[in-house]
A and B are shown apart, each in its own frame.
Chain A
Amino acid sequence: MSEPLVEVRDLYKHFPITKGILFQHQVAAVHAVDGVSFDVMRGEALGIVGETGCGKSTTARLITRLLEPTSGSVTYEGRDVTKLSRREFKPLRGEIQMIFQDPYSSLNPRKTVGSIIAEPYKIHRLKQGKGERKRAVQELMEQVGLNPEHFNRYPHEFSGGQRQRIGVARALALQPKLIIADEPVSALDVSIQAQILNLLKDLQRDLGITLVLIAHDLSVVKHMCDRVAVMYLGKVVEIAEGDTLYNHPRHPYTGALLSAVPVPDPDLAAAKRRQVLGGDLPSPTNPPPACRFNPRCPKAQELCRTDEPLLEPKQGGGLAACHFPLTDGEVAERVATADTA
Chain B
Amino acid sequence: MSPLLEVDDLHVQFETEDGIVKAVDGVSFSVDRGKVLGIVGESGSGKSVSMLTVMGLSRARNATITGAARFDGQDLLKASNDDLRGVRGNDVAMIFQDPLSSLHPFYKVGKQLVEGIQSHQYMSKAQARQRAIEYLGMVGIPDPARRFDSYPHEFSGGMRQRAMIAMALVNEPRLLIADEPTTALDVTVQAQILDLIARLQRELDMAVVMITHDLGVVAEVTDAIAVMYAGRVVEYASTLDIFRSPEHPYTWGLLQSIPRLDRPRDEPLIPIPGRPPSLITLPTGCSFHPRCPYVQERHKQVDPRLEPLPDDPSHRVACLLTSDTRKRLWQELSAGKAPEEAREEVVEGGFT
Asked whether, in the complex, the Cβ of A258 is within 8 Å of the Cβ of B213, the reply is no
CA of A189 to CA of B244 in the docked complex: distance in angstroms?
23
Which chain B positions have C-beta within 8 A of A278?
Answer: 192
Bound Cα distance from A224 to B158, whole angstroms: 28
Q: B183-191, B201-209, B301-309: which one contacts chain A?
A: B183-191
A53 vs B122: C-alpha distance when bound (angstroms): 43
CA separation between A298 and B322, bound complex, in Å? 52
When the two chains form their complex, are residues B260 and A219 in contact, meaning their CB atoms are under 8 A apart? yes
**Residues of chain B contacted by A189 (CB below 8 angstroms):** 42-43, 213, 275-276
Alpha-carbon distance between A220 and B219 when the two chains are bound, in angstroms: 18
The answer to whether residues A190 and B262 also contact, given A52-B157, A264-B216, A280-B158 and a CB cut-off of 8 A, is no
Q: Complex: how many Å from CA A266 to CA B265?
A: 20
* Smallest CB separation, B339 vs chain A (Å): 13
Q: Given the known A-B contacts A266-B239, A266-B240, are A194 and B188 also in contact in the complex, defined by CB atoms under 8 Å?
A: no
Cβ of B29 within 8 Å of any chain A Cβ, yes or no, is no
Which residues from A are CB-within-8-Å of B186?
51-52, 216, 281
CA distance A219 to B214 in the complex (A): 12
- Which bucket holds chain A's interface residue count? 35 or more
Q: Is there a chain A Cβ closer than 8 Å to B86's Cβ?
A: no
B270 contacts A by Cβ under 8 Å: yes
Q: Is the CB of B262 within 8 A of A257?
A: no
Q: Is B338 an interface residue (CB 8 A)?
A: no
Considering the chains assembled together, what is the distance between the CA atoms of A334 and B227 in angstroms?
30
| Residues on B with beta carbons closer than 8 Å to the beta carbon of A218 | 187, 261
A158 to chain B, nearest CB (A): 10
Question: Is the CB of B272 closer than 8 A to any CB of chain A?
Answer: yes
Q: B259 touching A336 by the CB < 8 A rule?
A: no
Across the interface, name the chain B residue whose C-beta is closest to A222: B265
B220 within 8 A of A: yes
Contact present for A223 and B259 (CB under 8 Å): yes
Query: What is the bound-complex CA distance between A136 and B187, given in angstroms?
Result: 41
The contact of B254 among A190, A198, A246, A280, by CB within 8 Å, is A190
Q: Tell me the minimal C-beta distance from A148 to chain B in angstroms.
A: 18
Closest to B256 in A: A194
Chain B contacts with A in 24-78, Cβ cutoff 8 A: 42-43
Closest B residue to A196 using CB positions = B271
A274 and B269 in contact, given A222-B261, A266-B240, A338-B264 (Cβ under 8 angstroms): no
Bound Cα distance from A241 to B257, whole angstroms: 24
Count of chain A to chain B residue pairs whose CB atoms are closer than 8 Å in the complex: 142
| B263 A338 Cβ-Cβ under 8 A | yes
Within 8 Å of chain A (Cβ to Cβ): is B101? no
The answer to whether A123 has its CB under 8 Å from any CB of chain B is no
For A199, give the chain B residue with the smallest CB separation: B271
How many interface residues does chain B have, given as a range? Answer: 35 or more
Q: Give the complex CA separation of A281 and B219 in angstroms.
A: 27
Q: Which A residues are CB-close (under 8 A) to B259?
A: 194, 197, 217, 219-220, 222-224
Chain B residue contacts of A274, Cβ below 8 A: 191, 195
A29: interface (CB < 8 Å): no
- Are the C-beta atoms of A263 and B261 separated by less than 8 Å? yes
Asked whether A92 is an interface residue with its Cβ less than 8 Å from the other chain, the reply is no
The distance in angstroms between the C-alpha atoms of A341 and B186, with both chains bound, is 25
User: Do A338 and B262 have beta carbons less than 8 Å apart?
Assistant: yes
Residues of B within 8 A of A269 (CB): 219-220
Assuming the A-B contacts A161-B275, A190-B213, A191-B271, are A265 and B262 also in contact, with contact meaning beta carbons closer than 8 angstroms in the complex?
Answer: yes
For B142, give the chain A residue with the smallest CB separation: A279
Chain A positions within 8 Å of B257 at CB level: 190-191, 193-194
A159 to B194, CA, bound (A): 31
CA distance A257 to B259 in the complex (A): 16
Cβ contact within 8 Å between B265 and A243: yes
CB-CB under 8 A for A263 and B216, given A220-B259, A274-B191, A280-B159: yes
Give the complex CA separation of A72 and B138 in angstroms: 46
B188 touches A256 (CB 8 A): yes
Q: How far is the CA of A267 from the CA of B275 in the complex (A)?
A: 31
Rounded to whole angstroms, the CA-CA distance of A219 and B189 in the bound complex is 17
For residue B155, give the distance in angstroms from its CB to the closest CB of chain A. 9
Q: Is the CB of A191 within 8 A of B191?
A: no
- State whether A257 touches B188 (Cβ < 8 A): yes
Q: A223-B269, A280-B156 are in contact. Are A261 and B187 (CB under 8 A)?
A: yes
Would you call A28 an interface residue if the criterion is a C-beta within 8 Å of the partner chain's C-beta atoms? no
B192 touches A276 (CB 8 A): yes
Which chain A positions have C-beta within 8 A of B258? Answer: 190, 193-194, 219, 264
B196 CB to closest chain A CB, in angstroms?
9
**A232: min CB distance to chain B, Å:** 10
Q: How far is the CB of A191 from chain B (nearest CB, A)?
A: 4
Known: A262-B190, A265-B262. 10 other contacts (CB 8 A): A189-B276, A194-B257, A194-B271, A222-B265, A263-B216, A263-B262, A264-B215, A280-B159, A336-B261, A338-B261
- Selected A-B contacts with CB under 8 Å, 20 pairs: A189-B42, A195-B271, A216-B187, A219-B259, A219-B260, A223-B265, A246-B261, A257-B188, A259-B191, A260-B191, A261-B187, A262-B194, A264-B219, A264-B260, A264-B262, A266-B220, A266-B240, A280-B156, A337-B262, A338-B261
